[in-house]
Structure 1
Amino acid sequence: MLYVGYPQTPKGIKAAADLRANVTSLIKHGVLDDQRYAELFPNSTYANYSATPRFGEYAQEWLDSREIVAGTRKNYLGSLNLYWMPYLAMLPIDSITSVMLRKVVANTEWATPGVKRAAIQRLTTVFGTAVKDGLITRNPVESIELPVKAKKPIDPFTVGEANQIIDHLYKTLIHSMRIYAAYFEFAFYTGMRPSEIAALRWEEVDKEKRLVNVCRIVADYKIEERTKTRNERQVMLNSRALHAIEQAKLVAKQRALQSRRKRSESPYVFPPTKNFEFIQQSSVTDKHFQVALTELGIRPRRQYNCRHTYATMCLMSGMNPAFIANQLGHSVQILLSTYAKWINSSIDWRELGKLESTIDGELTKS
């Protein structure tokens, strides 16, 4: 219990009650900082306990100073508020130890190992900056073991399945809804990320040079003028991708003609059929995709596998991995590690082909 120095008289008790009410109000409004605490309790040992800021104050200033996109800021804020602030907010940052953090981690019910991993990594970054700022000498989070990062399964469609899905969508979707058939033909035959396709504008399409410039994405329902890797790239268009572009253009013209009110064509190549200017979330396209899989009897998979299908299609065709990586917006190392199975498969079959040639030659002799 904190000794406040008031005598146990009616006057002293009232003064203590008034002080308590004041402190409660300051805490409620989030303004009880170290300076005010020292003013209210000048004889408290805690008032001079640490010259460093409290974790909550420092984390907020750290987040405010970072040049990051809105979606990333939102993720950091949500993670810090949900998992760390309830335990650490009022503690001086130099008083927080690894043992203390391990207890928090152990007592938290994590939704998934991935959520746990992300929360610990974000805390590591905050304390890492505090080390650089000279507020602490070592990062207490570094000794916390991270859960193994779980990779989402690579489960591509075959070329035959991809073509079945595309054909089915063109046959079953009519009028403006055909934009989703064109969307998936483009997805299967460019390997672009869904967020990149949703943000693709006509000004970035060069049909004569058969190129599209990938320079923006949709993130958190908004257009971000960047890519996932922050590097722009040009994707070369094969005949199927060009066909998808032509179909999207036809849909756009029909849409403008059929509209009761005059409006110009959308600046986006694959706009949704209603309500919004661009596709804001994957559920808009996924519902058509999953219906097609069900009606065709194809094993259900997430639509991101359109990208994996393009990558494995290129690899199995014997294309140069460096070229494929550039088209996908990967490093060669990521491509090789992600799709090693398909790289080996394509090489294996080519090697087996050499044996088949030898066998055929021997059979001909006999």
Structure 2
Amino acid sequence: MSVKKVNGGYVIDFTINNKRFRETIPAPHNKKAFQRIEDQEKIYRMAISLDDKGIADRFPNSKIIQKAFNTECNYTIHEYSNIWFRQKQRNWSHTTIRGYTQKYNSYIKPNWGHLKLTAFKASMFDEWASQIKLSAKSINETRNVLKQIYVRAYNDEVIDRNPTLLIERYKQTHYEPTPFTNDEIDRIITELQQPYREFFQFAFFTGLRTGELLGLRWEDVDLRRKVAHIRVNLINGIEKSPKTTGSIRTIQLHQKAVESLIALKKSDFSKFRRVFINPKTMTEYKNADGLRKYIWKPTLNKLNISYRYPYQCRHTYASMMLTQGKNPMWVAKQMGHVDWGMIRKTYGRWIE
């Protein structure tokens, strides 16, 4: 059979005169779509066998027809990005889809979306990057999205060359963590009220990522053994498994973290499934934007403490543990890294 189902559509695959022709067509998996693509495959065969370009012209965007009759690629970057996105998004997390969509809609589509795939040149990207006020990290992320679109087009033989391979990565500035001092931690915790006090104390003394903090459930906590099982990551209200196997872990709880949980256990918040609940709505958090904007930032301003993002609580925990002489491999495991390479690179100055 020359037509086969694949994720997101069908593949037409046949050989004539020792030449293989292959094309992926996005379509729903139903009888009507299958019949339409089978009929399309028969027309392809007829056009190629008869060398009839008149028949072939009915499918100007077909990769098979372009290959058989050496016609120019008619896909624009925007048109092919839609194909790539439909076919690949099933394998992506919610945050990946959001990140790719933002980079594409903000930078790729308005600058090059109208161009034919074959019209784009690496110098166009470099010219754009030289003028836009973006961090090297954001430029590299945009480059990655564009590159993936072209890799798919090249692998599908829609284009003969991939110009994005000529775009070099931009050098990213490495920023050292700026952890909080013990005095700053004490002042912040003292200033906050329940349950914000417990949330940030737990963050300071576990080093959990934001999504891991928001996703923590009472069933994941063992106060008797003083451990927590990190099994869930909550991103924009969507519960996901942690991204890497190293992130699925059991951590040892610092006494300060245990005290936070005990305080919450004695409160009305213990009746909820999640450990940390929004006291204003009495529902679980979807993200930490409100915490940062309306609790964290005003507290630092009031205490005249230089502003750092809440994520610096994680950096504070790592530097604190290393300063106390904890084994870097133990710290790496606590923080969800598979080895201590990231610890060495990021927190090297706190390791004796």
Same fold by TM (over 0.5)? yes
- Cα gap change, 1:324/1:135 in structure 2, threshold over 3 Å: closer, same or farther? same
2:278 aligned residue (272, 276, 279): 272
Q: Look at both structures and tell me which one has the larger radius of gyration over its CA atoms.
A: 1
- Cα gap change, 1:278/1:51 in structure 2, threshold over 3 Å: closer, same or farther? same
Shift in Å at residue 269 of structure 1? 0.2
- Cα gap change, 1:157/1:282 in structure 2, threshold over 3 Å: closer, same or farther? same
Q: Does 1:223 align with 2:238?
A: yes
Provide the secondary structure at the position in 2 that maps to 1:218: strand
Moved over 4 A (4+): 34-39, 103-106
Which is richer in helix?
Answer: 1
**Amino acid in the other structure paired with 1:129:** R
Please name the residue that 1:356 is paired with. Answer: none
Q: Does 1:342 align with 2:350?
A: yes
Please name the residue that 2:327 is paired with. Answer: 320
- Cα gap change, 1:52/1:158 in structure 2, threshold over 3 Å: closer, same or farther? same
TM score, norm. by length of structure 2: 0.72
Please name the residue that 1:233 is paired with. Answer: 249
Please name the residue that 2:199 is paired with. Answer: 183
Shift in Å at residue 82 of structure 1? 2.7
Please give the per-residue CA displacement for 1:204-236, whole angstroms capped at 9, x wherever unaligned: 1122222211122232x2223122446411111
Q: Does 1:156 align with 2:164?
A: no
Please name the residue that 2:313 is paired with. Answer: 306
Provide the secondary structure at the position in 1 that maps to 2:205: helix
Please name the residue that 1:141 is paired with. Answer: 164
Shift in Å at residue 314 of structure 1? 0.7
1:63 aligned residue (80, 85, 93): 85
**Amino acid in the other structure paired with 1:144:** I
Provide the secondary structure at the position in 1 that maps to 2:283: coil
Distance in 2 between residues matched to 1:319 and 1:297, nearest whole Å: 31
Please name the residue that 2:260 is paired with. Answer: 244
Shift in Å at residue 306 of structure 1? 1.1
Shift in Å at residue 60 of structure 1? 1.0
Shift in Å at residue 48 of structure 1? 7.6
Please name the residue that 1:329 is paired with. Answer: 336
Q: Is the 8 A contact 2:227 2:252 kept in 1?
A: yes
Unaligned runs of 5+ in 1: 1-33, 40-46, 257-264, 348-366
Unaligned runs of 5+ in 2: 1-55, 62-68
Range moving further from structure 2, 155-164 or 288-297? 288-297
Provide the secondary structure at the position in 2 that maps to 1:190: coil
1:282 aligned residue (288, 291, 297): 288
Range moving further from structure 2, 122-131 or 301-310? 122-131
Please name the residue that 2:110 is paired with. Answer: 86
TM score, norm. by length of structure 1: 0.69
Q: Is the 8 A contact 1:110 1:116 kept in 2?
A: no
Q: Is the 8 A contact 2:237 2:285 kept in 1?
A: no
Please name the residue that 2:7 is paired with. Answer: none
- Cα gap change, 1:99/1:240 in structure 2, threshold over 3 Å: closer, same or farther? closer
- Cα gap change, 1:110/1:296 in structure 2, threshold over 3 Å: closer, same or farther? closer
**Amino acid in the other structure paired with 2:142:** A
1:294 aligned residue (301, 306, 318): 301
The share of aligned pairs that are identical, in percent, is 27
Please name the residue that 1:114 is paired with. Answer: 137
Q: Does 1:199 align with 2:221?
A: no
Provide the secondary structure at the position in 2 that maps to 1:157: coil
Q: Is the 8 A contact 1:312 1:342 kept in 2?
A: yes
**Amino acid in the other structure paired with 1:206:** D
Provide the secondary structure at the position in 2 that maps to 1:83: helix
* Corresponding pairs, count: 285
Q: Is the 8 A contact 1:214 1:234 kept in 2?
A: yes
Shift in Å at residue 198 of structure 1? 1.1
Q: Is the 8 A contact 1:94 1:135 kept in 2?
A: no
- Cα gap change, 1:225/1:35 in structure 2, threshold over 3 Å: closer, same or farther? farther
Q: Is the 8 A contact 2:237 2:287 kept in 1?
A: no
Range moving further from structure 2, 230-239 or 61-70? 230-239
Shift in Å at residue 129 of structure 1? 2.8
Please give the per-residue CA displacement for 1:80-134, whole angstroms capped at 9, x wherever unaligned: 233222344344424433244445545x634444332221121122222333333
Shift in Å at residue 69 of structure 1? 1.7
**Amino acid in the other structure paired with 1:336:** R
Q: Is the 8 A contact 1:211 1:236 kept in 2?
A: yes
The root-mean-square deviation of aligned C-alpha atoms, in Å, is 2.8
**Amino acid in the other structure paired with 1:269:** V
